[in-house]
Structure 1
Amino acid sequence: MIQQFLITILVIIGICSCNTNTKTEKATPIVKKQQPEIDIASAVIYEVNIRQYSPEGTFKKFTDDIPKLKELGVKVLWLMPIYPISKTKSKGTLGSYYAVSNYKAVNPEFGTENDLKELIKTAKSSGMYVILDWVANHTGWDHHWIKEHPEYYTKDANDNITHTPDTDWTDVADLNYDNKGLRTAMFEAMQYWVKNYDIDGFRCDVAGMVPTDFWKSTISNLRKEKPLFMLAEAWEPELQEAGFDMGYSWDTHHLFNEIAQSKKTTTDLKKHLKNLDTLYNGDHIVMNFITNHDENSWNGTVTERMGDAATTMLALAYFVDGMPLIYSGQEYGLNKRLRFFEKDTIPKIKGDTWKLLASLSKIKNENKALHITNTTSNLTILDDNAYSSVLTLQRTTDSNEIIYISNLSKKPVSITPAFQGTFLNAFTDKEMVIKKDTVLQLSPWQYYILIKKT
């Protein structure tokens, strides 16, 4: 259990929101709910696909690489489900990680309990949290509750247990949260990992499909054991009100894809960023991403979905309010769809993507204007309405101003920037002077991150 907080915990919480005035807000660190004792102000979260991370697909092989991830600013490790997988009605050769057959055991394909504990120990010594993927909406058909507690499950008119309605998830059995016994059993299963493995929280699969009141009571009771970081696979603000610390910025992600595919415009993105102010409160965090396990396997690689716009969107995901996500293999420029129900593997050669992620993390760490805060948003959309494809964002604190400007289109554009001053190019450290009459040429999908000189 994490020791009582005898030091000031710089856990900084923010929102993914935006305003259109230029008022500077001070980035004030806060303690929200009960958090583990690391500073997440500039943190990156890393999604760990143990099965596909290495040819061996083991905890040990991933543990070897944990220190390397510090180069990318990773402070939260999200382990995709590490539990035994149901074989009954399973899909493919190996089945889905999300068809859990035992909530209190380790998948032997990945290694032993001690291997997992060593992974957690290594991560903590590297200054990282470890959160487990939790599948509360359904179980695999081999789960012992099927026989021991059929009352825990949703049933059809003939009293047969069913898979989750309105889905093709035939490999899982739907859980019924009208049953109080299920709620208690689910809480106890989550508590098992907190007590026995000292994990730092959970990423909760399809959290919006589980009753919000269950999450509210369960998260509150889990936090009696120790501080926890809770991520909901959902965008709904009410889940953060119920105790989750962070949710998915799905709409932002979808807009990134649609703009890259010329289906939406910069105007749509600006409207969305402004609208986020009405959705989230000041202590909400959103997770920004250009890929994850679902996107990669089912909707396409970053290159397939975003093409030449990929690096521009990646930089934007680091610039807007929230916490950026890296999915296993993304750091190595993964350019294939990982098979979901079969063994696969990722490339392990550092290249341009690794360098870019390291640079973006360094920029985020060193510029407090990009840190997650509990204030109203310090992000401003600068007035560049004269250019339909140009996005100019400004984030400020009392002592730090940073600009993101990009051409979100396939055509070059010549503009007069909506800001002036002397700046440093965040990637090259070269000085750029922007005057009232400066004309800036932007190639297709070109972007700059500029730090105001003081």
Structure 2
Amino acid sequence: MLGEWEMRDLHRAAFDATYAWSWAEAMTKIAKGLADVNALFIYYSWNESSYPRDAMRMIYTSNHDQNAWEGTEYERYGPAREAAAVLSVVGEGIPMIYNGQEAGNARRLQFFEKDPIVWKDDEQGELFRRLFALKHAHPALWNGAWGGRMHAVVNSAPGKVLSFFRRVEGDTVFAVLNLSGEAQTATFTGAHHHGSYRDAFSGDAVTVDGATRFEMAPWSWRVLAT
């Protein structure tokens, strides 16, 4: 059961999931250049320390209120839109798709009036299909206590690049996102994320070790899975 609020105690006896409004606020500020990756560290640290392990937080890049009153995801995220969508699925939480996102709806929908969506094939729909297939296939990305915690991987571009892995038993997903409008070069510290992977989008085999170096275009990402 979903509670349309962001309060830890709702999970005590009633609700399985609550809205992660703070995640959406942090990601929107990053997209607008008003914050950096540290805003997400604050959210994820608070979520892990304050909420029960089996609590599920609903992560989204658009919803009925935001689309109608604050702007579409295209308006609010600009070139950061796809990176935000990727993080909403591969990070901790239940990802939500609002009406028309899978059809690339770039229009503010009327809130209290019938306002039909133009349903069509769209590259964003294909992105979501691939992300959800990845989430279903990899237990590390499952929701709540069934999935793996996000473990930060220290990188050479702090504040600009978010890198982490999630792991459940033998299943690992390593994600690197350039959450800035400038190209970044990322190298990584530590060895817990090392291993043999497949790129979740290209299918290429990738070995991650101490010499790994990613050249990241603005607002780009790499998602690797075992």
Return the TM-score normalized by structure 1: 0.47
Task: Note the C-alpha offset of 1:258.
Answer: 0.7
CA distance in 2, matches of 1:385, 1:432: 20
SS of the residue corresponding to residue 327 of structure 1 reads coil
Unaligned runs of 5+ in 2: none
* Aligned partner letter, 2:196: T
Aligned CA RMSD, in angstroms, stands at 1.6
Task: Note the C-alpha offset of 1:328.
Answer: 1.0
Q: Which residue of 1 aligns with 2:36?
A: 265
Q: Which residue of 2 aligns with 1:5?
A: none
Task: Note the C-alpha offset of 1:265.
Answer: 0.6
Bigger radius of gyration among the two:
1
Q: Deviations over 1:324-380 (max 9, x none)?
A: 111111110110100113332212111101111110110000001011243796221
Q: Which residue of 1 aligns with 2:223?
A: 449
CA distance in 2, matches of 1:271, 1:249: 13
Q: Is the 8 A contact 2:56 2:144 kept in 1?
A: no
Q: 1:364 aligns with which of 112, 126, 135?
A: 135
Q: 1:325 aligns with which of 82, 93, 96?
A: 96
Q: Which residue of 2 aligns with 1:383?
A: 154
Q: Is the 8 A contact 2:148 2:167 kept in 1?
A: no
Q: Is the 8 A contact 1:395 1:401 kept in 2?
A: yes
Q: Which residue of 1 aligns with 2:212?
A: 438
Indicate the structure with greater strand content. 2
Q: Which residue of 2 aligns with 1:305?
A: 76
Q: Deviations over 1:360-411 (max 9, x none)?
A: 1100000010112437962211122653201001100111010110110000
Q: 2:23 aligns with which of 220, 244, 252?
A: 252
Task: Note the C-alpha offset of 1:421.
Answer: 2.8
Q: Is the 8 A contact 2:38 2:159 kept in 1?
A: yes
Return the TM-score normalized by structure 2: 0.93
| Equivalent runs, 1:399-438 vs 2, <5 Å | 399-418=170-189, 419-438=193-212
Residue 281 to residue 420, structure 1, CA distance change in 2 (3 Å):
same
CA distance in 1, matches of 2:33, 2:113: 33
Q: Which residue of 2 aligns with 1:352?
A: 123
CA distance in 1, matches of 2:65, 2:213: 41
| Equivalent runs, 1:134-149 vs 2, <5 Å | none
Q: Is the 8 A contact 1:232 1:246 kept in 2?
A: yes
CA distance in 1, matches of 2:14, 2:91: 23
Q: Deviations over 1:56-105 (max 9, x none)?
A: xxxxxxxxxxxxxxxxxxxxxxxxxxxxxxxxxxxxxxxxxxxxxxxxxx
Instruction: Tell me whether 1:274 sits opposite 2:48 in the alignment.
Output: no
Q: Which residue of 2 aligns with 1:94?
A: none
Q: Is the 8 A contact 1:417 1:434 kept in 2?
A: no
Q: Which residue of 1 aligns with 2:54?
A: 283
Task: Note the C-alpha offset of 1:260.
Answer: 0.5
Q: Is the 8 A contact 2:139 2:147 kept in 1?
A: no
| Equivalent runs, 1:19-418 vs 2, <5 Å | 230-374=1-145, 378-384=149-155, 386-418=157-189
Q: Is the 8 A contact 1:389 1:407 kept in 2?
A: yes
Q: Is the 8 A contact 2:55 2:144 kept in 1?
A: no
Aligned length: 223
* Aligned partner letter, 2:20: S
CA distance in 2, matches of 1:414, 1:385: 8
SS of the residue corresponding to residue 97 of structure 2 reads strand
CA distance in 1, matches of 2:125, 2:13: 36
CA distance in 2, matches of 1:362, 1:232: 26
Task: Note the C-alpha offset of 1:232.
Answer: 0.7
SS of the residue corresponding to residue 244 of structure 1 reads coil
Q: Deviations over 1:12-50 (max 9, x none)?
A: xxxxxxxxxxxxxxxxxxxxxxxxxxxxxxxxxxxxxxx
